[in-house]
Amino acid sequence: MGKYVIAGNWKMNKTPAETTALIEEIKPLVKDATCDVIVGVPFVDLAAALEAVKGSKIGVAAQNCHWEKSGAYTGEISAEMLKAMGVGYVILGHSERRTYFGDTDVTVQKRVRAALDAGLTVILCVGEYLEQREQGITGEVVAMQTKIALGGVSKEELSRIIIAYEPVWAIGTGRTATAEQANEVCALIRKTITGLYSCQTAKKVTIQYGGSMNAANAAELLAQSDVDGGLIGGASLKAPDFATIVAAAK
């Protein structure tokens, strides 16, 4: 299916000096990776990360961006600013942004638009809450999140979108979706993209699974037919664990 991409989401962890140290530790461990490798770091660590990844194939992601280019938005960072400093990727619509900071499907769509316009590649997170899974509406929720976020995204632009299926109940909980559950929803996302674009286009999109993926369970999750990689939180902060997950993505 899509190209394998393993991305770390460091969340609100690490100072610039710690960022340099962790990337220096990761670099030799992933030098033979056959997949794309990305680290998603806090805004204040982006400069250190960009410097540290030099000479490697590791990409650097921010964890959010605003939809306006500039203006009176105290505390915000624009996609243009990220692009100007050399950042290649941005994680958008993460469930922690949706749950704690008021991100909605509509604001996620606006952020996606701004990121694409600035030339960034987006890691777009979608996923259901436990109550929604228990109600049997996972498919509807994830399809709607995907459709709204991709509203106005052209077929050409879709090549700069990675989708991360992250069931909210599995994030940071140690409770991983089964390989079957992960594959079922990733396949459903691909079907949604087929409906919006075409089968050919949908096949090329990278669809990651995220939610307590770790060194022990990565191989099984990544072996699923519709899982093209992972978005890794906790385990991405431990270089050997992250490297094991990267090695499993082939």
Catalytic residue of the set 94, 131, 180, 184: 94
DSSP three-state, residue 130: helix
DSSP three-state, residue 238: coil
Residue number with CB closer to ligand PEP (80 or 241): 241
d(CA 75, CA 235): 28
Contact pick of 28, 119, 152, 172 for ligand PEP (by CB under 6 A): 172
User: Cβ 188 to ligand PEP, closest distance in Å?
Assistant: 19
Residue number with CB closer to ligand PEP (80 or 247): 247
Residue nearest to ligand PEP (CB): 233
Residue number with CB closer to ligand PEP (196 or 219): 219
Q: Please indicate whether residue 94 is annotated as part of the active site.
A: yes
Report yes or no: 138 and 128 within 8 Å, Cβ to Cβ: yes
171 binds ligand PEP (CB under 6 A): yes
232 binds ligand PEP (CB under 6 A): yes
| Contacting ligand PEP within 202-221 (CB under 6 A) | 210-213
9 binds ligand PEP (CB under 6 A): yes
Report yes or no: 234 and 216 within 8 Å, Cβ to Cβ: no
Report yes or no: 105 and 148 within 8 Å, Cβ to Cβ: yes
231 binds ligand PEP (CB under 6 A): yes
d(CA 113, CA 107): 10
The answer for residues whose C-beta is within 8 angstroms of residue 238's C-beta and 6 or more apart is: none
Report yes or no: 140 and 185 within 8 Å, Cβ to Cβ: no
Residues making contact with ligand PEP (CB under 6 A):
9, 11, 166, 171-172, 210-213, 231-235
The catalytic residue positions are 94, 166
